[in-house]
Amino acid sequence: MQFWQSIARTPTDQIVPLARHAEALGFTGVTMADHLVMPVTMKSSYPYAGGGRGATDQGTPYLDPWLLCAYVARKTESLRFLPYVYVPALRDPFSVAKSISTTALLTGDRLLVGIGVGWMEEEFALVDRPFAGRGRRTDELMAVVDELLSGQMVEHHGEHYDFGPVQMAPVPRQAPPVLVGGHSPVALRRAAKARGWLGVSYDLDAVFPILEAIRVLRSELGRSDEPFEAAVALNARPEPEDLLRLEEAGLTMWVNPVRVRRDGTPPSLDERRAALDRVAERLIVPLGG
């Protein structure tokens, strides 16, 4: 089992010391979120929280995930990085491929790519990209990204993207694994075709049927023997035996989510470090992480 720490919404001056502390305690990597802006007025419902609202507002810090990964990589030794999740359909495939390629190179191949189709319609409207059909567009966009990351001369003629021969350089020796978020049947099939699945804000018992559904889908696709990661951030902090059960069911990565004080204010750096110490003592050490 890999142990990951979310640094989403962390004040910028706390990010590097927190990441270094996580690395020293045996965490595998850190995750970060992706938002361009937070509209003042929003009708879209956040799908992973009760009441349809996430724990963010217009002042919540969201750094560019690729710049953040590259920066923290320079300050750490072995820590890995995972946008959780990045929304490709807000961008064009060439920008996405260039960002992934550059970040993979600058992190020394310590990058994983977590993607989702997005949920905030207002954000799509602001960059003049259609919200409807974003799933199909994401599929084709990521296929183009995969072609570009080959480093070969490629061309593409599809429903959403059409271009003649181009070549991207430089590219990493191997494209980073792509993990897909979501729990709809379409999202799970998309994840089964990729290199992994990401889950956000689930109760413990809800994860087991999802992992089983992915196992069946991968078997149907003939991909059971290929490398596959499954990550989840749970609503409640698990016990060691919970993670052992999840690992048996196919989970490979547990993400420790961001915690806030009861009054909703962000913790201090010392409080965050102490919280990581408790996680390491309670979970990483007993499970040999």
Least confident among 52-61, 114-123, 222-231, 274-283: 52-61
pLDDT tens digit sequence for 126-150: 999 999 999 999 999 999 999 999 9
Tell me the mean pLDDT in the region 34-59. 71
So what's the pLDDT on residue 258?
Answer: 82
Q: Report CA torsion sign: 279, 280, 286, 288.
A: positive
Strands (DSSP E) contained in the chain are 2-6, 29-32, 80-83, 113-115, 154-157, 162-166, 178-181, 196-202, 229-234, 253-256
Tokens of 83: 């946008």
Q: Which CATH superfamily is domain 2-287 in?
A: Luciferase-like domain (3.20.20.30)
Q: What is the pTM of this model?
A: 0.93
pLDDT for 48: 67
